[in-house]
Amino acid sequence: MCYTSGTTGNPKGVLYSHRALVLHCYAQCMADAFGLSERDVVLSVVPMFHANAWGLPFSATMVGASQVFPGVQPTPADIAGLIESERVTVTAGVPTVLLGILQEMEKRKYDLSSLRAVPCGGSAVPESLIAAYDALGVNVIQAWGMTETAPLATVSRPRSSMDGWTDAERRRVRARQGPPIAGVDIRVVDDAGQPVPWGGNSVGELEVRGPWIASSYYQDERSADAFHDGWFRTGDVVNVDADGFMQITDRAKDVIKSGGEWISSVELENAIMGHPDVLEAAVVGLPHERWQERPLACVVARPGREVTKAVVIAHLEPLVAKWWLPADVVFVEALPKTSVGKIAKRELREQFKDHCWPDT
């Protein structure tokens, strides 16, 4: 049993069967997933309590791959050093881990050439982060899953039909969460619970089902709301394009409703993090007297760089609709994170609940 990280509510216990985890291993080792083999050296960065380290220790054991464990609370320097010294071929982590390694690379040029794949998930992977690793010759693969999905459910690998596309075009696809792996079904439903068509324009809540998807929470009354007719309601708001590539636009509880219209905090965050002087960003919706809610951008500048509200807004203006622009920007030394490295937006909302909006 593993517990959810509780980013939007109290943690919930998820029970796994032996059969579910074995099937998950087979799927994870497929070529269009992580393609693990006996030749790999796998470094599991995420803790075992976080969905069994994404199942990597089980899958690596199944195929006979070598395994490297970084110990308790490894630093980015620890991880980069192990990749270099142990010639790690596959590692995985949340975006904050990869950002930390990039910072370390600015201090010392670690040899990361052994890496063939770096699955990344836990939160949306900005296109700018993928591009930064491309420049190092490292292939970051966006994947999506949850504790309830054991956790791997989708993997974003461009299809062969996209081979003729430019690197930028392929990167835009890689920045989506990808299609479901074999064994997992996904669908998008509207507020009435009815499936909506794929194609990129229809947005709704993601539901998933499959042989390693949980069917209930452990002794938790919230099971009835989350599980129905073999489907699990994820709470993620998504669209799916014509190629079957899913993109998460937000968590249902993080979507910002301003003046009756929806604003995606994820898209705003990724756009802000595209600025070269920004290290991290989180956007939360806070109550607003006139507009019901407005987005507040919480920004961490890169060490030694200076960023202002005007700079952030100017960077966003050509990228998003005018009414999406944050009503204010605050600068913090660090963003609060959960035990597995996800940004704790509940803490940000609590921290800034009395924030005074500037006059507009």
For residue 268, the 8-state DSSP code is H
Q: Please say if 4 is a catalytic residue.
A: yes
Residue given tokens 């699990």 in the structure block: 232
CA distance 318 to 334: 27
Q: Which of 109, 262, 308, 317 is catalytic?
A: 262
Among residues 107, 109, 257, 353, the one annotated as catalytic is 257
Specify whether 212 is catalytic: no
Residue 257 bears catalytic tag: yes
| Residue 200 per-residue DSSP state | S
> Could you tell me the two tokens for 18?
């032996």
Taking only Cα atoms into account, the Rg of the chain, rounded to an integer number of angstroms, comes to 20
**What is the torsion angle, in degrees rounded to the nearest 10, for the CA atoms of residue 179, residue 124, residue 162 and residue 171?**
-170
Could you tell me the CA-to-CA distances from 90 to 65, 86, 170, 186 in Å, in that order? Answer: 10, 11, 21, 27
CA distances from 216 to 11, 220, 221 (A): 13, 8, 9
Active-site entry in 127, 148, 269, 280 = 148
Q: How many whole angstroms separate alpha carbon 176 and alpha carbon 102? A: 21
Is 337 considered catalytic here?
Answer: no
Supply the angle between the helices 95-107 and 127-134 in degrees, to the nearest 10: 40
Active site positions, annotated: 4, 148, 257, 262
